[in-house]
Structure 1
Amino acid sequence: MHNIHHKLHDKVAVVTGGSGVLCSAMAFELARQGVKIAIVNRTLKNGQLIADQIQEAGGQAIAVEGDVLNRASLEKAREQILAHFSKVDILINGAGGNHPDAITSEETYSGKEVDQSFFELDESGFSNVFASNFTGTFLTSQVFGKALLEQKSPVILNVSSMSAFSPMTKVPAYSAAKSAINNFTMWMAVHFAKSNLRVNAIAPGFFLTNQNHDLLIDAEGNHTARSQKILNNTPMKRFGIPKDLLGTMLWLVDESYSSFVTGITVPVDGGFMAYSGV
């Protein structure tokens, strides 16, 4: 259980992709700290489930429909949130993910016939995955940015990945987008530094989520070969669990702890990035 961060009380956080395993954990913890939560999801009912659970636990939360690739949809979401909570202090850009259209069948090119070699990757599938991770972060930051700048110590927290530093095999669009997130986090941090808006990112190592479950766990409930590779390269020899992210998140969003920290991406990875494999 994390200590209470009194400076966070009564702040308002917008969490995109807030119904996902990791972002919902962040939303729950912020609500526990007295932050008012707006969950923004493409599918309203998914966000509503999380908002309801936060309220049942005594927090304040609303769910708002919003597509991070549609400016008009985001602007509508912003108006609803401002009408309800009257301000925005924290933006967590959690929406993103992957899609089979942007994944190669094999880790390295063999020249053999496979379902989806590099040369069969669908251009629109590739572009969509890149956009949902990167362009969605850009658009959401743009749409909520002016509201953030009206507050005393606003924060944007982007969500990166281990794949940003060293691309995972099979997922070129996702990896490229997350690498762009790291760069854009630095760019925005510099751009808004004098305006007091801090911009950082969190890079989870390997966490079991609904999205990657079938890649990492087989039908019998055992680790897949890919899982085994990950664990072999994670010195702590386990997958992350959602609460592993929360201390880093609280540090970065609480200005009294990190007022001079901007433009960084923090790995939370059980040592994965530090390990050379030897």
Structure 2
Amino acid sequence: MFPIHENLHGKTAVITGGSGVLCSEMARELARQGVNVAIINRTLEKGVSIVSEIEAAGGKAIAVAADVLDRSSLEKAKEAVINAFGGVDILINGAGGNHPDAITAVETYTEGPSEKSFFQLDESGFSKVFATNFTGTFLTSQVFGLELLKQESPNIINISSMSAYSPMTKVPAYSAAKSAINNFTMWMAVHFGETGLRVNAIAPGFFLTSQNRNLLLHEDGTHTPRSEKIITHTPMKRFGQPKDLLGALLWLVDEEYSGFVTGVTVPVDGGFMAYSGV
């Protein structure tokens, strides 16, 4: 269990995609630290479930339904957060994900009839995946940004990926969007540098989530070939666990620990980026 960061007590964090496997763990830990948590999801019921857990543990949280690609719904969500908690100190842009329409069936192209390759990717699916991961971060940061600037030590945490550094096969839209997240994190850090708003990102390595479980595990729980590749290239020889992200999160959101840190993307990857494969 992490020590309590006293100066986080009473602050308010907005977490998009807050009911997901990784972001819900962040929500629970921030609430344990005394942070008021607003979970924003397209599906209200999923957020309500996490809020119930937080409240049962003695924390304060609300769930708000909003789509990160719909500015008007984000504006309404902001109003709900302000009405509940009075302000916003921390924004975690966790909404994202992938979709079959933006995924190739093969890792490399070969001529002749084949399963879905680059040329069969659906344009609307590609655009939607890119938008959900990148444009949603842009819009949410715009909508909540002015509220953040009203606080003494506000910060934004974007969620990147290993595919931002070296694109993963089969998922070009997701990889391109996460690469854009890294660049956008640096851009915002510079743009807001003199205001006191710090902007950083966390790049999780390979974690088992509801979205990727079928890609990484067989029905009997054994590793798929793609999963074996990942473990082979991860020096710590395991997948990440949601709690593995919490130390980096607490460091980045606590002004006393990282007050001079902005514009960085922190890999939490079990050494994946460090390993050349040889």
Q: TM-score if structure 2 supplies the norm length?
A: 0.99
* 2:154 matched residue in structure 1: 154
Q: Counterparts in 2 of 1:114-263, with a 5 A limit?
A: 114-263=114-263
2-structure distance, mates of 1:121, 1:155: 37
* 1:69 matched residue in structure 2: 69
Residue type at the aligned position of 1:149: L
> Percent of aligned positions with the same letter in both sequences?
72
C-alpha offsets along residues 143-176 of structure 1, whole Å, 9 cap, x if unaligned? 0000000000000000000000000000000000
The Cα shift of 1:248 comes to 0.2
* 2:98 matched residue in structure 1: 98
2-structure distance, mates of 1:66, 1:178: 21
Task: Name structure 1 gaps, 5 residues minimum.
Answer: none
2-structure distance, mates of 1:97, 1:114: 26
2-structure distance, mates of 1:114, 1:41: 37
Task: Name structure 2 gaps, 5 residues minimum.
Answer: none
C-alpha offsets along residues 66-88 of structure 1, whole Å, 9 cap, x if unaligned? 10000000000000110111100
The Cα shift of 1:220 comes to 1.8
Q: TM-score if structure 1 supplies the norm length?
A: 0.99
Q: What's the Cα RMSD here?
A: 0.5
2-structure distance, mates of 1:82, 1:112: 57
The Cα shift of 1:195 comes to 0.4
The Cα shift of 1:113 comes to 2.4
C-alpha offsets along residues 89-130 of structure 1, whole Å, 9 cap, x if unaligned? 000000000000000000000124233110010000000000
- Secondary structure at the aligned position of 1:202 is classed as strand
1-structure distance, mates of 2:141, 2:38: 15
Q: Counterparts in 2 of 1:107-118, with a 5 A limit?
A: 107-118=107-118
The Cα shift of 1:219 comes to 1.5
Number of residue pairs matched by the alignment: 278
The Cα shift of 1:244 comes to 0.3
Residue type at the aligned position of 1:87: G
1-structure distance, mates of 2:24, 2:2: 16
